[in-house]
A and B are shown apart, each in its own frame.
Chain A
Amino acid sequence: VANKGKELLNTLKNGLWESNPVFIQLLGLCPTLAITTSVSNGLGMGLCSTFVLVFSNFFISVLRKFIPPRARIASYIVIIAGFVTVIDLVLKAFLYELSASLGVFIPLIVVNCIFLARAESFASKNKPFVSVVDGFSMGLGFTAALVIISAIRELLGNGTLLGFRILPEAYQPALILILPAGGFLVLGLLTALVRFVTDKTKKDREDTK
């Protein structure tokens, strides 16, 4: 039992930090760069992706013995696309404002490689419960990354956070951060920072040994 708990905890930690989908695995960069212009977009996209990841991982894991091996990618895509459409319809029906601001990115969740990567490398080889935990943790890791990137871009590029003005009116926003180029800059710098920290902690650990 203790082992199982530890395994779950590791799976949970994995997505958030050790193999963070954005900063470490560099997965799903298209939506990451495109929608991180404001925190509300980043949060919305992250939570939608988490929802889809949890459900697609669960069903792919349940069906892992049923899914035909030779057409497995096609099966994954159908299942993922199904849940993305669920999200799209539910948002349009009950959270219209969010759906208007996330716009074209919702259908694009389908082609986000995080989902395929988790389906192929985790859900298709593990039991449903631990796959759900993996989907949840990868989703949260993705959400955290999006929120961090979008907070930096929105604050410096527009002077606001979640739409509220934080920096004084006199601050001339650095528009480039909201533009696509700014997305690359922020992502690159943050990835470098995360790499620096992980390398350093690893080295410290080895030194103390």
Chain B
Amino acid sequence: LAKENKTPSAVRGKDSPLSTALRLTAIVAVIIVMLSALNYFTKGFIAENEQRKATEAKESLFADASFKELDKSSFPLDGEEYKDVTAIFSVIDGNGRTIGYCIDMKVFGFSSDAMTVCFGIEGENAAMLKGIRIISHSETPGIGTKALETTGDFIPSFTGKTANTVNDISAVSGATLTSDAVKGAAETALAAAKKIAGGVNGGK
């Protein structure tokens, strides 16, 4: 087969392997330069957007509070069940007191892409859910998303639940996988918050 193609023009001309390789390399190089420049230009905006979305979620849970990110590795959270905890924030009120925690978690519902959910936890020893917010998700529109509506029945029902009562929340029919995943994550977040509060208060 190679013999058939080896006409003189194919070896030396526009069709030669060397020319083909050089031309393809040139095209790739131009695209790379273009994308690097654009990436450099948009990097800041993208990080800002992601940050803003996450901050908005926290602010809608705890009004008039400030948030300080805590280092996950400084708490006893290296167990397998806590591997989806992505970020921990302490919630600080106007007087500088810690009034709760926000725990961001990856939650695997129906979609293979994890949702990012922010769990706001308050109360003595951080045992009660203040509320939860969905930061990002790719659940099926109209099906899984029924469980994720902030105005629906499911998401608001987390407010005031503790580790013992979180299981009383009933899953949204038709969105069982999504609901159960969020419920499971809420339990994990509560357990993690307990350990974090324990760690911060010196193991009280």
**Chain A residues within 8 Å of B, Cβ to Cβ:** 37-38, 41, 63, 66-71, 74-75, 78-79, 81-82, 85-86, 89-90, 92-94, 96, 100, 103-104, 157-158, 173, 175, 178-179
Query: B28 in the interface, Cβ–Cβ < 8 Å?
Result: yes
In the bound assembly, the distance between CA atoms of A90 and B37 in angstroms comes to 12
Q: Kindly state the separation between the CA atoms of A92 and B50 in the bound complex, as whole angstroms.
A: 9
Count B interface residues, CB 8 Å: 28
A178 in complex: contacting residue of B14, B46, B143, CB < 8 Å: B143
A-B contact list, 30 entries, CB within 8 Å: A41-B141, A68-B15, A68-B20, A68-B23, A69-B14, A69-B15, A71-B24, A75-B23, A75-B27, A79-B27, A79-B31, A81-B31, A82-B31, A82-B35, A85-B38, A86-B34, A89-B42, A92-B42, A92-B46, A93-B45, A96-B49, A96-B50, A96-B53, A103-B138, A104-B113, A104-B138, A157-B142, A158-B142, A175-B174, A179-B140
Contact A75/B38 with A68-B14, A93-B46, A179-B143 known, Cβ cut-off 8 Å: no
B20 and A71 within 8 A (CB): yes
Minimal Cβ-Cβ distance residue in A for B141: A37
- Which of A74, A86, A93, A103 is the one whose CB lies under 8 Å from B24? A74
Chain A residue with Cβ nearest B142: A178
Chain A residue contacts of B53, Cβ below 8 A: 96
Which residue numbers of B lie inside 8 Å of A, CB to CB?
A: 14-15, 19-21, 23-24, 27-28, 31, 34-35, 38-39, 42, 45-46, 49-50, 53, 113, 136, 138, 140-143, 174
Q: Which of B34, B50, B142 contacts A175 (CB 8 A)?
A: B142
Chain A residues with Cβ under 8 A from B113's Cβ? 103-104
CA distance A104 to B46 in the complex (A): 16
Q: Please, how many angstroms separate the alpha-carbon atoms of A183 and B77 in the complex?
A: 44
